[in-house]
Amino acid sequence: MKKIAIIGGGPGGLTLARLLQVKGFTSVTVYERDVNKEARVQGATLDLHEESGLAALQEGLLMEPFIANYRPGADKMRILDKDANIIADEHAGKKDETRPEIDRGPLRKILLESLTEDTVVWDSQFADMEKSGDGWLLHFKNGTTSYADLVVGADGANSKIRPFITPIRPFFVGMTALEGSVYDAENIVPEMFELVKGGKLFILGDSKTLIVSAKGDGTLSFYAGFKSSADWTLNGNLLDWYRREFKGWAPVYETLFANVSGGFIPRPQYCMPLDQDWEALPNVTILGDAAHLMPPYAGEGVNMAMLDALELSRCLVKHKNMQEAIEVYEREMRKRASATAAMTLTQTELLHSPEAIRNMMEIVGHV
Ligand SMILES: Cc1cc2nc3c(=O)[nH]c(=O)nc-3n(C[C@H](O)[C@H](O)[C@H](O)COP(=O)(O)OP(=O)(O)OC[C@H]3O[C@@H](n4cnc5c(N)ncnc54)[C@H](O)[C@@H]3O)c2cc1C
């Protein structure tokens, strides 16, 4: 039995750990830099897709807890213009629930609770690794070390494992998404809370976006997307910036920026090159954002990370030779990611263009 180290306990890493344990791998450890499972507030709601996120949960025997925790109706979307006119409203008719929504927190909890005790080693920020026999000796920032036959980098956008596999870096796509939340939104921003109606808003105008979603705990999460340089930083006050950047937008939207809870995160948007390629190594691979970072405007990132986990687990069962398993997995993963990234880049451009509302209506099939 090989010793498998997964670096990063995000949706990709935890899904892989679960799938490997279900398939009989007994030595699987996830090293996560968060100090413990409560260290970070988890982000907004995610829609899981049948062919990827849901397929991974199904094979991980986790559909029962998923069904107990998903949020019926949270997939319903409204498209609005900058004057707060509702252009399309999925609350109005009956909508097929083909892409059920779950909050990141409950998804993470389901995955964590499915793992055998002590699978996740918290407070373990990967720092470096060196070759050791057929595997790797891992070094963590807290001073500990550990040996693994196979290392899987599931450590997200700024992966420290990826450089061991390829020097290829993501490119800047020309925009930034500024992410924030308002807790207890029903009381703090009641008008916005009412507008979101437990679902999602896509507010489009002036080649900018404001995407708002309701979480099950009463929080509204949002991210404002706008064209920028790669080194964009907020000079001064968030509300002043919003009033300048989104000048002329309906006053109701401003309430989000005036009442933001717990700070905000500017995320310059990067994407992996669509033609990235590398030679498979026998004992280290990557998945999820570490392998194929892309902007969030097609809602595919978590789904792709979970599908990578599913495919990698299948390859590790099917191919007894580890390099062969990694080679087959990586070849298909790059092909999949490239097609999804191309679609995502197009969608990102369409939503940040003067015709964004018409484009969005076409994307979701309302015209
Ligand atoms: C604003 C925004 C909205 C989004 N909306 C959606 C959406 O609606 N639907 C969707 O599918 N996707 C969405 N995404 C994309 C999605 O968040 C990512 O694609 C997804 O989280 C990738 O999962 P992952 O497991 O690969 O990496 P991550 O979720 O980034 O997890 C990486 C984990 O590794 C840990 N880690 C990092 N470095 C180290 C280290 N050195 N040592 C140990 N641990 C480490 C981190 O703490 C983290 O727990 C969105 C992204 C953003 C920014």
What are the CA-CA distances from residue 316 to residues 154, 275, 301, 310, 328 (Å)? Answer: 16, 25, 23, 10, 10
Residue 319, pLDDT score: 95
Q: Tell me: pLDDT of 122 over 60.
A: yes
What are the CA-CA distances from residue 207 to residues 192, 279, 325, 350 (Å)? Answer: 22, 40, 44, 9
Give residue 98's pLDDT band: very low, low, confident or very high (50, 70, 90).
confident
Positive or negative, the CA dihedral 151, 155, 160, 164 is: positive
Q: Tell me: pLDDT of 84 over 60.
A: yes
What is the mean pLDDT of the segment spanning 9-15?
97
What is the mean pLDDT of the segment spanning 16-23?
98
32 within ligand 1 shell (Cβ under 6 A): yes
Residue 214 is assigned to a structural domain of this protein? no
Residue 258, pLDDT score: 95
Find the 248 Cα to ligand 1 centroid distance in Å.
33
What is the mean pLDDT of the segment spanning 117-137?
97
Residue 198 is assigned to a structural domain of this protein? no
CB 8 within 8 A of CB 154: yes
What is the mean pLDDT of the segment spanning 146-160?
97
Looking at per-residue pLDDT, the higher value among 161 and 367 belongs to 161
What are the CA-CA distances from residue 211 to residues 79, 86, 176, 214 (Å)? Answer: 10, 14, 13, 11
pLDDT in tens, 243-275: 999 999 999 999 999 999 988 999 999 999 999
272 within ligand 1 shell (Cβ under 6 A): no
289 within ligand 1 shell (Cβ under 6 A): yes
Residue 256 is assigned to a structural domain of this protein? no
Average pLDDT value over all residues in the chain:
95
The CATH number of the domain holding residue 10 is 3.50.50.60
Residue 42, pLDDT score: 73
Give residue 290's pLDDT band: very low, low, confident or very high (50, 70, 90).
very high
Q: Which of 332, 316, 307 is nearest to 154 (CA)?
A: 307
Percent of the chain with pLDDT over 70: 99
pLDDT in tens, 182-237: 999 999 999 999 999 999 999 999 999 999 999 999 999 999 999 999 999 988 89
Give residue 289's pLDDT band: very low, low, confident or very high (50, 70, 90).
very high
CB 220 within 8 A of CB 189: yes
Q: Which of 48, 289, 347 to mutate to test the pocket of ligand 1 (most atoms within 8 A of CB)?
A: 289
151 within ligand 1 shell (Cβ under 6 A): no
What is the mean pLDDT of the segment spanning 109-127?
97
Q: Tell me: pLDDT of 43 over 80.
A: no
Residue 320 is assigned to a structural domain of this protein? yes
Residue 235, pLDDT score: 83
308 within ligand 1 shell (Cβ under 6 A): no
156 within ligand 1 shell (Cβ under 6 A): yes
Give residue 148's pLDDT band: very low, low, confident or very high (50, 70, 90).
very high
Q: Tell me how far apart the alpha carbons of residues 147 and 118 are, in angstroms, rounded to a whole number.
A: 16
Give the tokens for residue 208: 């900018």
Q: Tell me: pLDDT of 1 over 80.
A: no
Q: Tell me how far apart the alpha carbons of residues 299 and 63 are, in angstroms, rounded to a whole number.
A: 21
Residue 367, pLDDT score: 55
**Domain of 60?**
4-70+104-168+274-349
Report the predicted TM-score, pTM, of the whole model to 2 decimal places. 0.95
Q: Which of 6, 33, 221 to mutate to test the pocket of ligand 1 (most atoms within 8 A of CB)?
A: 33
Q: Tell me: pLDDT of 39 over 90.
A: no
179 within ligand 1 shell (Cβ under 6 A): yes
Identity of residue 48: L
What is the mean pLDDT of the segment spanning 293-321?
96
Residue nearest (by alpha carbon) to ligand 1 atom 20:
302
268 within ligand 1 shell (Cβ under 6 A): no
34 within ligand 1 shell (Cβ under 6 A): yes
Displacement of CA 358 from its chain's centroid (Å): 26
Find the 184 Cα to ligand 1 centroid distance in Å.
24
180 within ligand 1 shell (Cβ under 6 A): no
Residue 265 is assigned to a structural domain of this protein? no
Residue 12 is assigned to a structural domain of this protein? yes
Residue nearest (by alpha carbon) to ligand 1 atom 52:
296
Residue 205 is assigned to a structural domain of this protein? no
Residue nearest (by alpha carbon) to ligand 1 atom 7:
299
Find the 13 Cα to ligand 1 centroid distance in Å.
10
Q: Which residues pair with 147 in a beta bridge?
A: 137
What total number of domains does the chain contain? 1
- Please give the DSSP secondary-structure letter assigned to residue 13: H
Residue 284 is assigned to a structural domain of this protein? yes
Q: Which of 50, 75, 302, 343 to mutate to test the pocket of ligand 1 (most atoms within 8 A of CB)?
A: 302
Residue 146, pLDDT score: 97
